[in-house]
Chain A
């Protein structure tokens, strides 16, 4: 990472593991539960949030000295909303089926707590380049969890990955289905996504004992 100083690199690397927005800060859970039944939707959602967050942090950071602090939340919302509408329109134009799967949740990126949180906590007080890195890092941390959840939910719930029937055909009874395996319908329901998030948190905290809160 000669390209970035150690401090800058941490802006990207921290949210990926030890300060992950989902598993440590427990933000942005709603969308993580709602759209992760398929891996493809998870990936598209991650990319959308990556775009919104990277650009949004840059815009807010550029304007940080001229935003009156009394109306800063409104300004932030306008910025996110603009970016989200761009993403939504692009998805509708080029990936219509997917945008139907994601339905309202693309629009709901506006209310994603991670984005507002980073605007408030970072972009309003830091330079453009560092804000950009912070946005990218947090979006990637969000995305990596989404992809992990989506991977397990699609694999165990539908027996497919990105639409490919990796475990065989459940109707023609090939592959694993020939020996009596069945898809786990519970995986497709949101409660199971919450449990998967919980398991990820469990694994993460047992690997890094520093993350366990004292109480």
Chain B
């Protein structure tokens, strides 16, 4: 308690000084503030911005831990494969081992530290410069960013991208809650367009695959989508269970559909994320997958087509590979950049699923497109909301116009009004 009191006293001391926001951020990070709003009608609830953010982070921690193990596992599996030994993944046999954990932690944790370090430094800087309190928006972004990039992304690239994403994607719009684009995806998009060789291909998904390329110890780490896009599906040794549990190469946090599913359920039951967006996005991707499957079975697409591999991929498996599940659960549901109205959420989610699979199949350079689909729909979310709200207004106007005024049961004016709203 004494630390808390000391911090409160320090806060009073620094009130109005230039560095006050930076100090207050640390203070409220540790303790709830000792002052509450007294006037006006405010909803008094415990789930403030900080708690919301922390809930999402809690849902991300299992994914991060799995990502750490998987980063190590994929490295050793690729080394084995280069020596002619094909590994069969087994959870306790060769996945949850100290070797995997140490190797994974050694590569993944620096990314997390750089992401948080750079992002929070910029948040503090802007808070001090603009004289407002530090907002918690970066807490989730900082955790999402390392999970959606390849494991061997150079740290300085990540730092540059985070600086760009936080400043251009968020701060110029006015900070947390005002951004039109998801900052984590802005960072991903920046990396993708600025340094494409580090963000796609068959060498970036497994630790050290780039360093060893071309040498006698060269290892490969093609993703499932990479195999399919090149029409090499038969060379792939991953089973459906591998895809579902996540023993496949990919961006750090995206591989385990099971843990993402659990995280998604946790977010739904804690009422942090919108189930409407998740359900409709899943539906959208399934519909697009079915359309492609239908095109293949109708014989429109032959095996000679470039798109055959991805279009003939069973529709439901699209959800198991790539970043689709991760994007739907953790990115599309961002309450700031997503649609706000209930009907808008259905449309917004559905289009995200639809466009994700569409880009995934038809993107010639890179067989994935979830981040592009979500960014695109982020831009359209306000438009969707606008038309939903407008439609609602029109419907009610029409209803008011056509309303038949029935004689009220009572004499009072209230009863008459009640009758009009039939």
Contacts and interface: CB of A to CB of B under 8 A. Distances in A.
Interface stretch (A42-50, A84-92, A181-189): A181-189
Interface string A161-192: 00000000000000000001110111101000
A180 B194 contact: no
A180 B190 CA distance: 18
Contact of B193 (A180, A182, A189, A198): A189
Interface residues of A, number: 11
A180 B154 contact: yes
A189 B198 CA distance: 18
A182 B172 contact: no
A185 B193 contact: yes
B172 A186 contact: no
Contact of B190 (A181, A186, A198): A186
B168 A195 contact: yes
Contacts of A180: 154, 156
Given A195-B168, A202-B172, A184 B194 contact: yes
Nearest to B167: A199
B157 interface: yes
Contacts of A185: 193-196
A171 B195 CA distance: 15
A187 B194 contact: yes
Nearest to B129: A206
A145 to B, nearest CB: 19
Contacts of B154: 180, 182
A184 B197 CA distance: 11
Contacts of B190: 186
A186 B154 CA distance: 17
Contacts of A184: 160, 194-195
Nearest to B157: A182
Contacts of A189: 193
Contact of B195 (A182, A195, A198, A202): A182
Interface string B139-177: 000000000000000101100100000001000100000
A181 B155 CA distance: 11
A202 B167 CA distance: 12
Q: By CB atoms of chain B within 10 A, which of A181, A186, A189, A198 has the most? A: A186
B63 to A, nearest CB: 28
Contacts of B194: 184-187
A181 B159 CA distance: 13
Interface string B97-115: 0000000000000000000
A186 B193 contact: yes
A186 B186 CA distance: 13
Contacts of B195: 182, 184-185
B193 to A, nearest CB: 4
Contacts of A195: 168
A107 B361 CA distance: 39
Contacts of A186: 190, 193-194
Contacts of B156: 180-181
A200 B160 CA distance: 19
A147 B279 CA distance: 50
A138 to B, nearest CB: 28
B197 to A, nearest CB: 8
24 contacts: A180-B154, A180-B156, A181-B156, A182-B154, A182-B157, A182-B195, A182-B197, A182-B198, A184-B160, A184-B194, A184-B195, A185-B193, A185-B194, A185-B195, A185-B196, A186-B190, A186-B193, A186-B194, A187-B194, A189-B193, A195-B168, A198-B168, A198-B172, A202-B172
Given A182-B157, A182-B195, A185-B196, 5 more contacts: A182-B154, A182-B197, A184-B160, A189-B193, A195-B168
